[in-house]
């Protein structure tokens, strides 16, 4: 089954306002206090808690540690945008 719909907005601001009203994150400060800064163990964990909407399970924590190292010196596009590899854009 496939559903498709169109949302018409007059400009980018209207588009953002439409979708912003549909999302509420309970711990917004975990995002605002960590995004755009160098990753630390604490900031990485808080960003994933924000994205997850709450506490991260032990199995998900293991996956984060394995798939999102604090320092990655390889090709970021190949690593994180390859749908055939774990730890891709779904979490980014």
* The residue to which tokens 């007059």 are assigned: 10
Examine residue 90 and state whether it is found in any structural domain, yes or no: no
Examine residue 2 and state whether it is found in any structural domain, yes or no: no
- Model's pTM, two decimal places? 0.64
Q: Which domain holds residue 47?
A: 12-80
76 CB-contact burial (10 Å; exposed 0-12 / middle 13-18 / buried 19+): exposed
Phi-psi region of 89 (alpha: psi -120 to 50; beta: other; left: phi over 0): alpha
Examine residue 72 and state whether it is found in any structural domain, yes or no: yes
Examine residue 35 and state whether it is found in any structural domain, yes or no: yes
- CA–CA separation, 20 and 42 (whole Å): 27
pLDDT in tens, the chain (92 residues): 888 888 889 999 999 999 888 887 788 899 999 999 999 999 999 999 998 989 999 999 999 998 888 988 888 788 778 777 766 655 54
Examine residue 3 and state whether it is found in any structural domain, yes or no: no
Examine residue 68 and state whether it is found in any structural domain, yes or no: yes
Domains in the chain: how many in total?
Answer: 1
């Amino acid at each position: 089954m496939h559903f498709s719909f169109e949302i018409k907005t007059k400009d980018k601001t209207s588009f953002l306002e439409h979708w912003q009203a549909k999302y509420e994150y309970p711990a917004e400060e975990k995002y605002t206090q960590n995004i755009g800064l160098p990753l630390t163990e604490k900031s990485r964990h808080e960003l994933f808690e924000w994205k997850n909407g709450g506490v991260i399970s032990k199995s998900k924590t293991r996956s984060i540690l394995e798939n999102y190292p604090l320092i990655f010196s390889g090709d970021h596009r190949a690593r994180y945008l390859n749908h055939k590899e774990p730890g891709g854009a779904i979490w980014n």
